[in-house]
């Protein structure tokens, strides 16, 4: 019996050895991993690709040189800078402004626009500042599918259905609003009936003057003189002398600070110191008061209505003063802030990051996202873009120089 148990034990041991030496069982076949889905982003206008680690860049264009122009541009630049600071980044990409001086004329606008469209990583443009610069630039951006949002190009033709470029948007009002608002104030509040208009030949000044005159005549007033000067003129006495012969109650100047200050000062030289002098957003800056001195007292100007400002305006004004050591120096800082935010918010909606960390932005998708902006609470009020690119609130207030300061007298 003992031998039998021994035999069984030996057999069992051999079985274990054989089992241990046998080839291991093949693991169950693994399921083959599906290939990673290829990243695609297409856009019929082309796609901007920002490499990982690089900043997202916007062009910023304003008039940053020229007497009476530079202060307007600097104010807009500060507004855009504060928007970039507040936004911080888009989808992890820091934001940079490429600042360019588009001056306030067609040549400057064309030169800068051509420079920006030569850079495929410029996503869109905040600007330009003057309609003279905006109009030719819009043609170039349209041909190259770069969206632009201007804080201050107010010429009606820019958003006229017959001439509007689909890439153009603005946060400022249309001068079809500003001109009539000024005319109504002159007729109803000042009680004037005879007006002489002067422009500087720029699209902004000429079209604004036309809108004022059209509205003033519709109210029953009379335009007794329609004159023009050249940008850079300093002796305004010849044109003022011609105007005096028509005995106007008010001179309506639709241009900018430098020439406006000469007109305001020299009207006394021809005996018109008691004739009302009125301008628009082109002179609604402290630089006009400094240039015109005592002759600025009593001058009127139309500009954005601060009463329509959004809830963030108070904090913005504090931030402006902390950053630059002074209160805003011209009228369009908040419009520049809103223009920058409109673009950045639209980028956020349409941009995608690929597996390598690069940012992709479709140019038509971006344009469409800006165009679809509705009910955005900006600094200047609630913004909604219409089919022709007007996104601004469109409210206008009239200010007057009193004791060396602009004071709102009608909104």
Mean pLDDT (whole number) for 179-206: 96
Is residue 2 predicted with pLDDT exceeding 80?
no
Is residue 109 predicted with pLDDT exceeding 80?
yes
Q: Are 98 and 81 in contact (CB under 8 A)?
A: no
Is residue 5 predicted with pLDDT exceeding 50?
no
Distance between CA 198 and CA 187 in Å, rounded? Answer: 18
Mean pLDDT (whole number) for 392-408: 92
Which residues, including other chains, have CB under 8 Å from residue 7's CB and lie 6 or more apart?
Answer: none
Q: What percent of the chain has pLDDT over 90?
A: 85
Of 33 and 312, which is predicted with more confidence?
312
pLDDT band at 241 (very low <50, low <70, confident <90, very high): very high
Which of 16-20, 159-163, 194-198, 380-384 is predicted with the least confidence, judged by mean pLDDT?
16-20
Identify the pLDDT of residue 29: 57
- Phi, psi (degrees; rounded to nearest 5) at 109: -65, -45
pLDDT band at 14 (very low <50, low <70, confident <90, very high): very low
Is residue 405 predicted with pLDDT exceeding 80?
yes
Identify the pLDDT of residue 68: 81
Identify the pLDDT of residue 246: 97
Mean pLDDT (whole number) for 322-337: 95
Mean pLDDT (whole number) for 33-61: 91
What is the 3-class SS of the chain, one letter each residue? CHHHHHHHHHHHHHHHHHHHHCCCCCCCCCCCCCCCCCCCCCCCCCEEEECCCCCEEEEEEECCCCCCCHHHHHHHHHHHHHHHHHHCEECCEEEEEEEEECCCCHHHHHHHHHHHHCCCCEEEEECCCCHHHHHHHHHHHHHHCCEEEECCCCCHHHHCCCCCCCCEEECCCCHHHHHHHHHHHHHHHHCCCEEEEEECCCHHHHHHHHHHHHHHHHCCCEEEEEEECCCCCCCCHHHHHHHHCCCCCEEEECCCHHHHHHHHHHHHHHCCCCCEEEECCCCCCHHHHHHHHHHHCCCEEEEECHHHCCCCHHHHHHHHHHHHCCCCCCCCHHHHHHHHHHHHHHHHHHCEECCCCCEEEEHHHHHHHHHCCCCEEECCEEECCCCCCECCCCCEEEEEEECCEEEEEEC
Identify the pLDDT of residue 309: 82
Identify the pLDDT of residue 117: 98
pLDDT band at 22 (very low <50, low <70, confident <90, very high): very low
pLDDT band at 394 (very low <50, low <70, confident <90, very high): confident
pTM: 0.85
Is residue 125 predicted with pLDDT exceeding 70?
yes
Is residue 98 predicted with pLDDT exceeding 70?
yes
pLDDT band at 31 (very low <50, low <70, confident <90, very high): low
Mean pLDDT (whole number) for 251-262: 96
Q: Is 367 exposed, middle or buried (0-12, 13-18, 19+ CB in 10 A)?
A: buried
Identify the pLDDT of residue 304: 79
Is residue 25 predicted with pLDDT exceeding 80?
no
pLDDT band at 27 (very low <50, low <70, confident <90, very high): low
């Amino acid at each position: 019996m003992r031998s039998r148990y021994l035999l069984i034990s030996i057999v069992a041991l051999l079985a274990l050895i054989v089992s241990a030496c046998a080839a291991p069982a093949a693991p169950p076949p693994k399921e083959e991993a599906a290939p990673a889905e290829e990243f695609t982003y297409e856009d019929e206008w082309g796609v901007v690709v920002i490499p990982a680690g690089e900043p997202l860049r916007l062009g910023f264009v304003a008039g940053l040189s020229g007497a009476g122009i530079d202060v307007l541009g600097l104010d807009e630049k500060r507004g855009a800078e504060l928007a970039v600071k507040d936004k911080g980044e888009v989808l992890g990409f820091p934001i940079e402004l490429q600042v360019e001086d588009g001056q306030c004329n067609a040549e400057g606008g064309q030169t800068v626009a051509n420079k920006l469209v030569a850079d495929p990583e410029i996503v869109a443009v905040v600007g330009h500042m003057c309609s003279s610069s905006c109009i030719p630039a819009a043609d170039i951006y349209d041909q190259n599918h770069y969206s632009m949002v201007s804080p201050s190009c107010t010429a009606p033709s820019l958003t006229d259905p017959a001439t509007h470029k689909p890439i153009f948007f603005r946060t400022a009002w249309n001068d079809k609003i500003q001109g009539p608002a000024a005319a109504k104030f002159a007729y109803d509040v000042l009680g004037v009936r005879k007006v002489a208009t002067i422009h500087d030949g720029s699209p902004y000044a000429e079209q604004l003057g036309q809108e004022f005159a059209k509205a003033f005549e519709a109210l029953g007033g009379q335009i007794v003189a329609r004159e023009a000067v050249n940008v850079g003129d300093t002796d305004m006495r010849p044109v003022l002398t011609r105007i005096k012969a028509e005995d106007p109650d008010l001179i309506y100047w639709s241009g900018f600070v430098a020439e406006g200050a000469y007109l305001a000062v020299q009207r006394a030289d021809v005996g018109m110191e008691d004739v009302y002098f009125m301008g628009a957003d082109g002179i609604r800056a402290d630089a006009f008061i400094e240039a015109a001195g005592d002759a600025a007292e009593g001058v009127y100007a139309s500009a954005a209505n601060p009463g329509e400002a959004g809830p963030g305006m108070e904090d913005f004004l504090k931030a402006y003063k902390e950053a630059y050591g002074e209160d805003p120096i011209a009228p369009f800082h908040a419009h520049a802030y809103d223009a920058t935010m409109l673009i950045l918010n639209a980028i956020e909606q349409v941009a995608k990051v690929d597996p390598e960390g690069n940012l992709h932005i479709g140019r038509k998708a971006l344009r469409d996202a800006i165009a679809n902006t509705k009910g955005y609470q900006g600094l200047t009020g609630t913004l909604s873009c219409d089919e022709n690119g007007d996104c601004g609130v469109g409210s206008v207030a009239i200010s007057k120089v009193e004791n060396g300061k602009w004071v709102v007298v009608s909104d």
